[in-house]
């Protein structure tokens, strides 16, 4: 018995770091059906996606597939979210391309090597973030900034695919304005066959699922069987288009670019080469990608977990994603994260445990072992169409609208991040956005709401003299500040109070109502002291009321209360006013 | 009559922008005595100081004098502080030297030209800050950072003078570690005569005023006459030491370095040459110096104004300092600001109005017109001693101690700024310090104080269950968050609440007590919405109580209240609990 309970303890401890010990050992038979379907459905979604995203990062398609085998399995062992699908994602792929392109030419061993190194660095950063419990740092990116950033990135990604949809040959570029000029210049060289194929593919990806869904429903299929079929639209597109190209030799006679030869078999073990200089150059990108990847995975993980009343732990997530990325670095892959839409599919396809992701990974493994030759005639335009449709859902103007109505500052932060991404680059964009939202926050808090208060009738309540009909006395001024006091806002408070007493020469006592002051930092305390001296020279006594427990503790510790005098601190404003003969 | 009142209105309007219209037109005869003495006393302090600070900036001594003529007069017309003495100051002089030295060799026309350009740029920045009412930006520098920054700068300045006190010839350097190594290497080449003179000068500057003060008191002099005499100690030192060097030919026989020939006569009109490239290179320094100069002038100005129950207006101060700096740029000067110690002298010497500064300026003007030859034999060691004594008062460890006891974060910010200045440079130091204090503030606010609350006895009061003995009900959870909700801290709140309800499976209603929530930003609102959805899936209803007026207005505007349901918002926590049958 004791042994059992000890064993139990041991398990509980370890399952916090290796969650598979939790869900694996409590796995129940009835989970299997859901996990199996979800695993297969996500597989059909992932295979074309993985190849497309690899191309987006400037890598050969098989790299995307390699990154979809070991990483999801590793994550299944360590991740606290049971439903997210870890593999290549659009946003990270774009950032990877942007980071590597300046350092090496595409389709060179150097380029592949840098992708591996980047995955290793991101993995290391993630693990450090998790171990040192720095998960909270991602909170410094406001929701406004993230939304603006992702929206702009979606646009950049979509336009990066236009050349494939038009069959244009234009140089690789990471600058959006540059890309636009290239597209406009090249517009005359459109390959109409490619354009047609691309357009048809997009329309098919939009309408086929809807149409198929309606049709199957008419035939009396149940929702649970319809969903998997509709979700496999991208795979259908891949198969059909490949067959068309192969049968009509469209690649040769119509000049439609195809994926071409993809090596068969599992990836061989790879070792990123650790060059200090290169690491320095990649560091900013690695940090940015690690943050972005984590945010995406964490937010979707939390969202899905809530639907199943499960919990996701930020720091353990960082570690799980970190190990997953490192596993990618050693198996010929590139940086991975948790995809939003894909994880959604996994959830709605009925996944119960990470076993679904393991099944998906096995399907991808089988594909690279036996089916890659089938992708020879796969047109790049189809993959481009899949990317465009995938990211089109990310453009999020609705949030901008909401934020703008509620508070301009958040709207400005959204726009700042959005424009910065389009004008400069994806990394600079998110950093700039973060800086803007922090400064706007400081600016907003630099002018806190301050109210002169008076007594409501004969009650013990005191309210804003401007909003309510209250009683005040000429010789006592009671002021309530609705903010914690810290270096950014205390000078404003000081100026306000000095102004207030200079406007009221008859004031002899100033009572600061601290009911809304949750903290007072060191600089604020210094300002408060100089304010008290200033008031003394004006023969005005300073008092405080309704000081909160934690704040009081701090003020006592530094002897501020003794300086001020215990008789100058009151529990309630009412008591203060009575003592100062203002009833 | 009407005409008169209109004239009055006109004056009031204009005197806000040209304060001399206020004090000038209301000047009273009894002010004159004080203004005259103060003007003369500050003159005796300023003349040696101005020359010393110019040398500190790597400029010839007369430049310091030129910068002490027109700028203070201009400031007298436009400044809102009636007591500060605008002229060269130690901190800015150091920063000016650090900014220019890399771009030109000392004692070259280029070097002088850059000093003029810098003054012009600082002036322009100041004016823009004032016009666009950005004075509040200086609040982003916490008192901790400023104190740490100034303390380190004082050390850097003091050590930069050691070579003059030891008579060493060591290369100019802006890096403190570099400077130290030079001093240690050069230590053997000490000129003992210079060292003796330097030491005597320092001792004289420390003890002569005290001794003289005591002695004169014994002789029955009154305080008001003693002070001016003691304050003129630096001038006495300058005269005596110059005479000694001249009489004994110490410059030739003992190798004591003297100031040498100073051109006679008022400065001629100068025009900074506006080279875009140079402007770009000087911009960071210009911004930093403009901020530092303003902070020093503004804080001392406010402090002195409070003693006379006067007011200082931040944005008008920026404009006044800006025009003063521009005037320096066109009269052969270099950047100026309001000196702390000098302004203190002006105040205690009985200055009543800016007329005192005008008198000082005239004294300096007369000096450059007729007395500069007398400074030929003035030893640089004396000027170095004057600088060392002047800045020694700036080292402010006491503040560090206080901050550290009260709250570590502020102490860390102090140390960060202090070390950054010593290790990197003065500008980088203040920027780094500012960044650190902002991040520490965000970090501190990222984990707000949250308390589960319960009813105190049968009252309407609700308190922290951990601090008080209170009543709670299993099916209702009331939580009070002691912070405004914004993007940095809402995720923490969300996690806390999810954890709280998962720990209490019997909870059916969650009440968020918002008595301490002064604002909710857009990102926080989004998080709140997703939290509510999350709770719904757990079949838990979400309620809010004690929402403040301004916050409520915002929530109503975006229809959040309608979404949540009006019946889910309660004026008081008591009412909420009664409605949820928890009494």
Interface pTM, i.e. ipTM: 0.72
pLDDT at A130: 92
* Residue B563 contacts residue B530 (beta carbons within 8 Å): no
The domains found in chain B, sorted by start residue, are 2-440 (no CATH), 450-579 (3.30.750.24)
Dig out the tokens for A125 from the structure: 């950063």
Check whether B125 has a pLDDT greater than 90.
yes
Mean pLDDT of chain A: 89
- Mapped to the 3 state alphabet, what secondary structure does A48-94 carry? HHHHHHHHHCCCCHHHHHHCCCHHHHHHHHHCCCCCCEEECCHHHHH
Check whether B1 has a pLDDT greater than 50.
no
Check whether A1 has a pLDDT greater than 80.
no
User: Cβ atoms within 10 A of the Cβ of A201, count?
Assistant: 25
How sure is the predictor about A138, in pLDDT bands with cuts at 50, 70 and 90? confident
Task: Provide the percentage of residues in chain A whose pLDDT is more than 90.
Answer: 45
Check whether B86 has a pLDDT greater than 90.
yes
Highest mean pLDDT among A342-346, B64-68, B372-376: B64-68
Provide mean pLDDT across the span A361-389: 92
Among A164-178, A281-295, A384-398, B99-113, where is mean pLDDT lowest?
A164-178
Facing residue for A483 by CB, picked from B136, B518, B521: B518
A406 touches chain B (CB under 8 A): yes
**CB proximity under 8 Å: B 135-194 to A:** 136, 139-144
Vertex B78 angle, CA B75 and B83, to 5°: 55
Percentage helix, strand, coil for chain B under 3-state DSSP, each rounded to 5: 70, 5, 25
Provide mean pLDDT across the span B348-360: 92
Provide mean pLDDT across the span B436-440: 83
* Residue A334 contacts residue A59 (beta carbons within 8 Å): yes
- Tell me which chain B residues have a C-beta less than 8 angstroms from the C-beta of A399: 526
Among A57-71, A554-568, B16-30, where is mean pLDDT lowest?
B16-30
- Tell me which chain B residues have a C-beta less than 8 angstroms from the C-beta of A548: 482
Facing residue for A403 by CB, picked from B140, B522, B538: B522
How sure is the predictor about B3, in pLDDT bands with cuts at 50, 70 and 90? low
φ/ψ of A68, rounded to 5, equals -105, 10
> What is the spatial distance between Cα A117 and Cα A122, in angstroms, rounded to a whole number?
9
φ/ψ of A379, rounded to 5, equals -70, 135
Backbone dihedral region of A581: left (phi > 0), alpha (psi from -120 to 50 degrees) or beta?
left
Nearest CA in chain A to B484: A483
Instruction: Kindly report, residue by residue over B227-256, the tens digit of the pLDDT.
Output: 778 888 888 898 999 999 999 998 888 888
pLDDT at B4: 58
* Contact yes or no for A526 and B399 at CB 8 A: yes
Check whether A281 has a pLDDT greater than 50.
yes
> What is the spatial distance between Cα B186 and Cα A314, in angstroms, rounded to a whole number?
56
Local structure of residue A371 (DSSP, 8 states): I
User: Strand A85-87 relative to strand A337-339: parallel, antiparallel, unpaired?
Assistant: antiparallel
pLDDT at B87: 96
Q: Which of A199, A164, A190 is closest to A61 using CA atoms?
A: A164
Among A8-12, A107-111, B108-112, where is mean pLDDT lowest?
A8-12
Check whether A436 has a pLDDT greater than 90.
no
Provide mean pLDDT across the span B215-236: 83
Interface test with B, best of A456, A521, A524, A536 (most B CBs within 10 A): A521
* Residue B482 contacts residue B512 (beta carbons within 8 Å): no
**CB proximity under 8 Å: B 467-506 to A:** 467, 482-484, 486-492, 495, 498-499, 502
* Residue A333 contacts residue A119 (beta carbons within 8 Å): yes
pLDDT at A3: 56
Check whether A152 has a pLDDT greater than 80.
yes
pLDDT at B10: 76
**Nearest chain A Cα distance for residue B554, angstroms:** 6
Local structure of residue A229 (DSSP, 8 states): H
Using CA atoms, how far residue A509 sits from A195, A505, A533, A541, A581, in Å, is 79, 11, 14, 5, 11
Interface test with A, best of B437, B446, B487, B571 (most A CBs within 10 A): B487
- Tell me which chain B residues have a C-beta less than 8 angstroms from the C-beta of A449: 518, 550
Check whether B264 has a pLDDT greater than 50.
yes
> What is the spatial distance between Cα B228 and Cα B221, in angstroms, rounded to a whole number?
12
> What is the spatial distance between Cα B445 and Cα B519, in angstroms, rounded to a whole number?
14
Interface test with A, best of B522, B532, B550 (most A CBs within 10 A): B522
Mean pLDDT of chain B: 89
How sure is the predictor about A305, in pLDDT bands with cuts at 50, 70 and 90? confident
Highest mean pLDDT among B71-80, B295-304, B543-552: B71-80
Measure CA A96 to chain center. Answer: 16
Long-range contacts of A3-6 (CB under 8 A, 24+ apart): none
* Residue B583 contacts residue B474 (beta carbons within 8 Å): no
How sure is the predictor about A4, in pLDDT bands with cuts at 50, 70 and 90? low
* Contact yes or no for B407 and A521 at CB 8 A: yes
């Amino acid at each position: 018995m004791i042994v059992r309970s000890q064993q139990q303890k041991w398990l509980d401890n370890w399952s916090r770091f290796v969650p598979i010990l939790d869900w694996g050992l409590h796995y129940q038979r009835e989970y299997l059906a859901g996990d199996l379907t979800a695993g297969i459905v996500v597989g059909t979604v992932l295979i074309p996606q993985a190849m497309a995203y690899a191309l987006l990062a400037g890598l050969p398609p098989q790299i995307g597939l390699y990154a979809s085998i070991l990483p999801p399995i590793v994550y299944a062992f360590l991740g606290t979210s049971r439903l997210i699908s870890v593999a290549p994602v659009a946003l990270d792929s774009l950032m990877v391309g942007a980071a590597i392109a300046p350092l090496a030419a595409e389709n060179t061993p150097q380029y592949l090597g840098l992708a591996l190194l980047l995955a290793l660095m991101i993995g290391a950063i993630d693990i450090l973030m998790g171990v040192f419990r720095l998960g909270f740092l991602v909170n410094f990116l406001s929701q406004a900034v993230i939304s603006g950033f992702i929206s702009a990135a979606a646009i950049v990604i979509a336009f990066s695919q236009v050349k494939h949809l038009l069959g244009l040959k234009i140089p690789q570029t990471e600058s959006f304005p540059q890309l636009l000029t290239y597209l406009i210049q090249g517009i005359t060289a459109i390959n109409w066959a490619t354009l047609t194929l691309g357009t048809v593919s997009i329309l098919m990806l939009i309408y086929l699922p809807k149409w198929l869904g309606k049709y199957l429903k008419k035939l009396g299929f149940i929702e649970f069987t319809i969903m998997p079929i509709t979700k496999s639209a991208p795979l259908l597109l891949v198969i059909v288009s490949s067959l068309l190209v192969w049968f009509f030799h469209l690649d040769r006679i119509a000049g439609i670019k195809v994926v071409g030869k993809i090596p068969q078999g599992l990836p061989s073990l790879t070792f990123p080469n650790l060059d200090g200089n290169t690491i320095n150059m990649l560091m900013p990108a690695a940090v940015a990608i690690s943050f972005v990847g984590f945010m995406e995975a964490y937010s979707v993980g939390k969202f899905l977990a809530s639907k199943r009343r499960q919990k996701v732990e930020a720091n353990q997530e960082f570690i799980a994603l970190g190990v997953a990325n490192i596993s990618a670095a050693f198996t010929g892959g590139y940086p991975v994260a948790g995809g939003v839409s894909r994880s959604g599919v996994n959830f709605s396809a009925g996944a119960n445990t990470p076993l679904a992701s393991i099944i998906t990974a096995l399907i991808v493994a089988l594909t690279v072992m036996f089916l890659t030759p089938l992708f020879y005639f796969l047109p790049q335009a189809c993959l481009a169409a899949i990317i465009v449709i995938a990211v089109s859902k990310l453009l999020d103007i609705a949030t901008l609208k909401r934020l703008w109505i509620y508070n301009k500052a958040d709207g400005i932060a959204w726009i700042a991040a959005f424009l910065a991404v389009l004008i400069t680059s994806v990394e600079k964009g998110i950093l700039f956005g973060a800086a803007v939202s922090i400064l706007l926050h400081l600016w907003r808090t630099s002018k806190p709401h301050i109210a002169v208060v008076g007594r409501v009738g004969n009650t013990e309540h005191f309210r804003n003299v401007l909003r309510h009909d209250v009683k005040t006395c000429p010789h006592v001024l009671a002021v309530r500040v609705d903010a914690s006091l810290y270096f950014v806002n205390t000078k404003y408070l000081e100026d306000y109070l000095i102004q207030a007493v200079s406007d009221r020469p008859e004031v002899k006592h100033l009572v600061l109502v601290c009911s809304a002051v949750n903290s007072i930092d060191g600089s604020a305390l210094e300002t408060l002291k100089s304010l008290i001296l200033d008031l003394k020279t004006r023969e005005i006594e300073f008092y405080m009321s309704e000081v909160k427990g934690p704040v009081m503790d701090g003020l006592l510790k530094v002897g501020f209360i003794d300086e001020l005098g215990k008789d100058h601190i009151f529990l309630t404003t009412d008591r203060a006013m009575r003592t100062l003969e203002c009833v």
